[in-house]
Structure formats: C-alpha cells, structure tokens
Chain A
Amino acid sequence: QKEVEQDPGPLSVPEGAIVSLNCTYSNSAFQYFMWYRQYSRKGPELLMYTYSSGNKEDGRFTAQVDKSSKYISLFIRDSQPSDSATYLCAMSYASSNTGKLIFGQGTTLQVKP
C-alpha cells in the first residue's frame, strides 16, 4: 500500500464548476501538506502549503486537511480551462526539515469551455 493515495482520474468538468480533488494517507506523522499543479511538460508548481489540520484559502483555491481521517482536499471554485492540469498532493514529516516530499499519483483535470 502506498503512503499517499490519489485517484488519477481523469476528471472532466465544465467551465465554472466546483472541483474537488482528494488524497488519503496512511502515516499519521505527516504534518506538512501541499498541492502542486503540473502542466504538461512542465515541473510541478506549488499551489497551496498548509501545516497540520484546518483550511486555507487562496483566491479560487481552498485546501483542507483532516488529520483525524488522514484526508486532504483541494477545492477549485469557478474552474477555468486554464486550470486543466495534473494536480499532485504532497506531504512531509514534522520537524525533520528533510524536504522529502511524498507525492500522490496525481489527478488529471480537464475543464471544458
């Protein structure tokens, strides 16, 4: 079993829809949670960065962490065709400063005009 599980999709939605992307994990030691966006033939780009449980909002993006359920989510409001990309969740351990991120498989999102 992988430490981080993510549904690879693909997920196709119409423009303007609310998108929900999710990851589950097995290691309760994870404390830092991130979402990266990766366009085709590009490197991952950091979208959201949260520490421990709770919600964080940045424009149309909201990240949620539920440590009790070992479940994280990324919501995209008013989705745009430019949001079409692969979304990777990533997490790392507390106070280790290792930068060793454990990534999910990535979910491919297509937003249709």
Chain B
Amino acid sequence: EAGVVQSPRYKIIEKKQPVAFWCNPISGHNTLYWYRQNLGQGPELLIRYENEEAVDDSQLPKDRFSAERLKGVDSTLKIQPAELGDSAVYLCASSLVVRSVASYNSPLHFGNGTRLTVT
C-alpha cells in the first residue's frame, strides 16, 4: 500500500513570497489533515477535510494560509505571503473515518512532510 505522498520535500523561500505544498493521501482515505510541526515540538492541526469539505479549520491562519481539496483526493496548502515564523515542517496525514460506527476513530497515517525555510 502506497503511503501519503507529499511534495516538495524541501522548500526555501524569502519572506513575503508565496509557497504551496501538495499532498496525495492513501487511496480510499476520505479524511485528510494538514499539520504543522515546529522544531522540537509535536505536530499541530491546521485543517481537516472530510472528502471535499473543510470541517475543522479553526487553527488555520486564514489571513495568509489557504487550502483546498478538489475532488476529495489530493490537497494543496498555500501560504501567501510567507513570514519568518512560518518555517516549519508541514505534514499531511490521511485516515478513513466511518461515521456509522459511533466510537470509531481511525488512526492517522502521515507523509514525510515538506520542510519549509523562510529567510
């Protein structure tokens, strides 16, 4: 089974420039997540999609961050303009959520992330 695929692996940009990250989830997974991991910290959720719908974007800085998941498969996360504090690893994860099972909470499978450096 192919895992979660992310690209690019590394990105270095100057502040105020735009940047975009791409994610292809595990086949059949209906739920997709973007997490941000700062150096020495655990990942923090930015946005969660169920199929095409963003169902939790409360932690997404909407003034500069945007995301989309067209056709409920691949997703892109964009930052415009980037700031120095955006330097981090951006992780994509996917899972299968089955709402007919009330207590089921599918574990997440992560990609290897995109390491962003803003100079």
Residues of A within 8 A of B (CB): 4, 6, 8, 31-32, 34, 36, 41-46, 49, 51, 88, 90, 92, 94-101, 103-106
**Highest count of chain A CB atoms <10 Å: which of B103, B109, B112:** B103
Count of chain A to chain B residue pairs whose CB atoms are closer than 8 Å in the complex = 71
Q: Are A46 and B45 in contact (CB under 8 A)?
A: no
Name the distance in Å between A99's Cβ and chain B's nearest Cβ.
Answer: 6
Q: Are B103 and A44 in contact (CB under 8 A)?
A: no
State whether A43 and B97 are in contact (beta carbons under 8 Å apart), knowing that A34-B107, A105-B42 are contacts in the complex: no
Residues of B contacting A36 in the complex (Cβ-Cβ under 8 angstroms): 110
Q: Are B97 and A42 in contact (CB under 8 A)?
A: no
The 8 A CB mask of B19-42 against A (1 = contact, 0 = none) is: 000000000000101000000111
| Chain A: CB-nearest residue to B31 | A99
Q: Are A97 and B97 in contact (CB under 8 A)?
A: yes
State whether A103 and B97 are in contact (beta carbons under 8 Å apart), knowing that A43-B112, A43-B113, A45-B110 are contacts in the complex: no
What's the Cα separation between A8 and B41 when bound, in Å? 9
